[in-house]
């Protein structure tokens, strides 16, 4: 399932209710005084984080959101009811930018709330305008408009594992092999243009578009996708054995590919460079098993877990899947 990761909406908080002009009409009171109540406050626009990365899709069709209008005041000094707040449910990991003011809000944990816009205050009823010099004011004021604004909502995936690597490394193929995802696979660069997510035994694996050299400075699909792996727990870094056979580059070719992606992660920063990394050498079917063994050994010098896999080898796919489960388990017990 592809993910909508960026939307813009226009939001309008509720207008306050109007104050009203009313007079007391009571038995035995000859000239009733003013008792017109104030208007209720307009509803606020509030963002609330939920653990559902797909909810942004709901706003795709509905680009305008509004909160309720405050009710008008009434006689007997009654304040109008407050307008209803509108709660925008947004995925954990969303960054909200008010494009008009530049302020930003981050939703980090489920249940986090941020008030984006305040509803307008209600107007005053005539009772409010009563003074020693004016005992019978005929004046009431209208409710105030609620705040309005344009917002950009960007989602950084809250995934457990992020698949990173050059285009064509086999990221989407691996996602499909270890989860029930049906990500598009193609023999050309940038088959994946939007992140794909797969459910992996209750954890989420995110398959992002291929990273190219210069991505951290905005080349290719650039930082838009590097951003997505800033919140993952583990980066699975895929390197295809094509880098071994192309121009007979051998181990050098594999290492260069690895270093090039590392460089993008480091240049981008935001913690990407220090994340736990598992190295997955892909497309082992393209080379002799002895070469695979040698490369695994060489990459182990990085002191990181190293796996090797061909999509055509069920045992290897299972080994990768088991290793990822184990790493995730170790991490969650380590964090407690």
Q: What is the binding site for ligand GTP (CB under 6 A)?
A: 165, 167-173, 185-187, 189-192, 209-210, 282-283, 285-286, 310-312
- Count of Cβ atoms closer than 10 Å to residue 325 Cβ: 14
310 binds, among Mg ion, ligand GTP, none (CB under 5 to 8 A by kind): ligand GTP
CB of 167 to ligand GTP, least distance (A): 4
Between the alpha carbon of residue 149 and those of residues 12, 106, 116, 272, 280, the distances in Å are 7, 17, 9, 33, 45
Name which of 69 and 171 has its Cβ closer to Mg ion: 171
CB of 219 to ligand GTP, least distance (A): 14
Query: What is the rounded distance in angstroms from the CA atom of residue 171 to the CA atom of residue 186?
Result: 11
E strands in 241-305: 276-282
CB of 320 to Mg ion, least distance (A): 16
Query: What is the rounded distance in angstroms from the CA atom of residue 324 to the CA atom of residue 333?
Result: 14
1 binds, among Mg ion, ligand GTP, none (CB under 5 to 8 A by kind): none
Q: Strand 104-106: give its sheet, edge to edge.
A: 64-66, 6-12, 148-155, 94-98, 104-106
Name the 3-class secondary structure at 336. coil
Name which of 84 and 194 has its Cβ closer to Mg ion: 194
179 counts as binding Mg ion under rule CB under 5 A: no
How many residues touch Mg ion (CB under 5 A)? Answer: 4
Query: What is the rounded distance in angstroms from the CA atom of residue 73 to the CA atom of residue 86?
Result: 22
Name which of 180 and 247 has its Cβ closer to Mg ion: 180
230 binds, among ligand GTP, Mg ion, none (CB under 5 to 8 A by kind): none
CB of 332 to Mg ion, least distance (A): 27
Q: How many helices (H) and strands (E) does the chain have?
A: 7, 14
Name which of 54 and 312 has its Cβ closer to ligand GTP: 312
CB of 267 to Mg ion, least distance (A): 22
Q: How distant is the alpha carbon of residue 46 from its chain centre?
A: 16
172 counts as binding Mg ion under rule CB under 5 A: yes
Name which of 49 and 208 has its Cβ closer to ligand GTP: 208
Name which of 93 and 167 has its Cβ closer to ligand GTP: 167
91 binds, among ligand GTP, Mg ion, none (CB under 5 to 8 A by kind): none
Q: Is the distance from CB of 206 to CB of 163 less than 8 angstroms?
A: yes
User: Any idea what the Cα angle at residue 245 is, between residues 241 and 246, rounded to 5°?
Assistant: 110
Name the 3-class secondary structure at 66. strand
77 binds, among ligand GTP, Mg ion, none (CB under 5 to 8 A by kind): none
One character per residue 126-165, x = contact with Mg ion (rule: CB under 5 A): ----------------------------------------
Name the 3-class secondary structure at 90. strand
Binding residues for Mg ion (CB under 5 A): 171-172, 191-192
């Amino acid at each position: 399932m592809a993910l909508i990761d960026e939307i813009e909406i226009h939001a309008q908080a509720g207008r306050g209710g109007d104050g009203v002009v009313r007079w007391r009409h009571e038995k035995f009171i000859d000239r009733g005084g003013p008792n017109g109540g104030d208007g209720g406050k307009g509803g606020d626009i509030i963002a609330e984080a939920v653990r559902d990365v797909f909810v942004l899709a709901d706003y795709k069709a509905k680009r305008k959101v509004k909160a309720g209008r405050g009710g008008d005041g009434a006689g007997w000094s009654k304040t109008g009811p407050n307008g209803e707040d509108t709660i925008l449910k947004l995925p954990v990991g969303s960054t909200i930018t008010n494009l008009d003011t530049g302020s930003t809000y981050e939703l980090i944990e489920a249940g986090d709330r941020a008030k984006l816009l305040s509803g307008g205050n209600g107007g005053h009823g005539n009772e409010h305008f009563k003074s020693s010099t004016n005992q019978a004011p005929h004046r009431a004021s209208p409710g105030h408009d609620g705040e309005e604004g344009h917002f950009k909502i960007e989602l950084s995936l809250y995934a457990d594992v992020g698949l990173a690597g050059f285009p064509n490394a086999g990221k989407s193929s691996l996602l499909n092999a270890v989860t029930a995802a049906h990500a598009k696979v193609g023999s050309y660069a940038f088959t994946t243009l939007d992140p794909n997510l797969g459910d992996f035994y209750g954890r989420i694996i995110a398959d992002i578009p291929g990273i190219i050299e210069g991505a951290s400075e905005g080349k290719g699909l650039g930082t838009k996708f590097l951003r997505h792996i800033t919140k993952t727990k583990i980066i699975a870094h895929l390197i295809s054995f094509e880098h071994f056979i192309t121009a007979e580059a051998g181990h050098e070719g594999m290492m260069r590919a690895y270093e090039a992606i590392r460089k993008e992660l480091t240049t981008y920063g935001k913690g990407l460079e220090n994340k736990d990394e598992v190295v997955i050498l892909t497309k082992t079917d393209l080379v002799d098993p002895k070469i695979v063994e040698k490369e695994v050994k060489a990459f182990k010098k990085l002191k990181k877990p190293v796996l090797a896999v061909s999509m055509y080898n069920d045992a290897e796919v299972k080994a990768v899947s088991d290793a990822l489960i184990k790493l995730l388990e170790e991490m969650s017990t380590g964090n407690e």
